[in-house]
């Protein structure tokens, strides 16, 4: 009999032969089913690792004829919001295109970022016909926690993207280290402005308390300046239309005309850029915000925004779906936390910034 070489495929039969067990026993171990003693399971797993065996996932999925249903629960894009959430959706669609041949279907659900009731409504829809896994951007903390408790009752694994909920046992968190990104903003301000220049931290959101990712960024910036005498003021703007933003900014700049740096904790930095240009205040004020949206990039290219901090939202969406796939289909361990890079985008380099 011709001896197998390293180049020849080694399958379940070869694993069973080496372990001196039935093929059905190997199949139980590969599919993580009960009925195999710990000693035999350990022996089979060692042989699988030795042979670097990769099961034929396509054949397995096609043979089962079962559809794996994944749900995504994300904020919807509307006239009131930036186009940030189009980027994770693009990543999700890319992942689905790659794995749909394995019988995986992604079902999108969208809620209004300014209406917690819409999140509750969507959560009920998802749970009405439970799916196999969920990709969630948690925006309303109390409602999100209630939702994931129901997911846990149904044994549905869930992955967080863009922001995390501390102490919750998600399968994985994929997104920015929020504290560190705020700390990075502080460093940029330190490098680019005088030591005594006043800094304005600007949170623009209807639901600031529930959008804890904004507050974590602020905490990071304050931590950077903890041992300095840098004057820092904070302004929460709860109405997100341009007129309301400009009204609140006018009050702030009247009270603090010595502001020399503005840190916007989310993707609404273009609204601030418009105000500064309109009032002739842009010169001498450093402006930093988040996210590689079309509007933000346009203002960056015109020199009206100095820095955009970006953390690859498209890759977050892609990795989120692939993590659920790897866990549910491949049965492989996944990273508990995957922090995205902190990318600093400027007028000079934005044209070369390609998101994965």
Supply the pLDDT for residue 80.
62
Q: Give me the CATH number covering residue 119.
A: 3.40.50.2300
pLDDT at 107 over 50: yes
- Asked if residue 259 lies in contact with residue 160, where contact means CB atoms within 8 angstroms, the answer is no
**What CATH number is associated with residue 20?**
1.10.260.40
Q: What is the mean pLDDT of residues 165-171?
A: 88
Instruction: Let me know whether 212 and 276 are in one domain.
Output: yes
* Residues 19/47, Cβ–Cβ less than 8 Å: yes
How far is CA 354 from each of CA 173, 292, 314, rounded to the nearest angstrom? 23, 10, 11
> Which whole number is the average pLDDT over 240-245?
93
Same domain flag for 122 and 51: no
**What value does the mean pLDDT of the chain take?**
89
Q: Is residue 353 part of a domain?
A: no
**Whether residue 304 is found in the same domain as residue 204:** yes
Q: What is the pLDDT, as a whole number, of residue 16?
A: 86
| 1 domain-assigned | no
24, part of any domain: yes
In total, how many domains does the chain have? 3
Identify whether residues 36 and 185 lie together within a single domain. no
Q: Is the pLDDT of residue 8 over 50?
A: no
What are 264-277's pLDDT values in tens digits? 999 999 999 999 99
Higher pLDDT, 200 or 196: 200
In a domain, 122, yes or no: yes
* Averaged pLDDT for residues 229-241: 93
pTM of this structure: 0.80
Environment class of 236 (CB within 10 Å of its CB; exposed 0-12, middle 13-18, buried 19+): middle
User: What mean pLDDT is predicted for residues 81-102?
Assistant: 90
Q: Is residue 351 part of a domain?
A: no
CA distances to 40, 151, 294 from 158, rounded to whole Å, are: 32, 8, 30
Biggest CA–CA distance in the chain, Å, is 89
Structural domain containing residue 192: 178-310
Give the pLDDT confidence of 278-316 residue by residue, as tens digits: 999 988 899 999 999 999 999 999 999 999 999 999 999
> Do 124 and 137 share a domain, yes or no?
yes
Strand 307-310 and strand 343-345: the pairing is: antiparallel
- Flag whether 73 is in a domain: yes
- The whole-number pLDDT of residue 113 equals 86
Same domain? 183 vs 301:
yes
Whether 192 maps to a domain, the answer reads: yes
């Amino acid at each position: 009999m011709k001896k197998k070489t390293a180049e020849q495929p080694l399958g379940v039969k070869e694993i069973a032969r080496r372990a001196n067990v039935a093929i059905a026993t190997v199949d139980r171990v590969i599919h993580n089913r009960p009925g195999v003693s710990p000693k035999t399971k350990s022996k089979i797993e060692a042989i699988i690792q030795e042979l670097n065996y990769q099961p034929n996932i396509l054949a397995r999925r096609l043979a089962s004829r079962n559809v794996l249903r994944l749900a995504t629960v994300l904020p919807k894009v509307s006239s009131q919001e930036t186009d940030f959430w189009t980027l994770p959706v693009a990543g999700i669609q890319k992942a689905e295109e790659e794995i749909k041949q394995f019988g995986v279907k992604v079902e999108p659900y969208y809620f209004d970022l300014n209406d917690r009731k819409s999140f509750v409504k969507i959560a009920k829809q998802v749970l009405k016909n439970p799916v196999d896994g969920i990709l969630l951007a948690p925006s309303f903390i109390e409602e999100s926690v209630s939702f994931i408790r129901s997911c846990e009752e149904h044994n549905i694994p869930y992955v967080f993207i863009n922001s995390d909920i501390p102490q919750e046992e998600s399968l994985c968190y994929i997104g920015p280290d929020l504290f560190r990104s705020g700390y990075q903003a502080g460093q940029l301000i330190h490098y680019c402005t005088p030591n005594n220049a006043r800094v304005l931290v600007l949170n623009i959101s209807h639901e600031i308390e529930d959008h804890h990712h904004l507050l974590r960024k602020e905490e990071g910036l304050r931590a950077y300046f903890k041992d300095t005498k840098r004057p820092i003021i904070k302004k929460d703007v709860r109405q997100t239309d341009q007129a309301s933003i400009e009204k609140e900014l006018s009050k702030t700049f009247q009270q603090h005309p010595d502001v020399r740096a503005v840190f916007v904790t989310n993707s609404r930095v273009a609204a601030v850029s418009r105000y500064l240009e309109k009032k002739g205040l842009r010169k001498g004020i450093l402006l930093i915000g988040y996210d590689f949206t079309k509007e933000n990039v346009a203002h960056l290219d015109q020199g009206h925004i100095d820095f955009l901090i970006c953390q690859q939202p498209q890759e977050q969406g892609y990795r989120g779906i692939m993590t659920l796939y790897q866990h549910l289909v491949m049965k492989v361990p996944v990273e508990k936390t995957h922090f995205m890079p902190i990318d600093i985008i400027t007028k000079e380099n934005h044209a070369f910034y390609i998101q994965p």
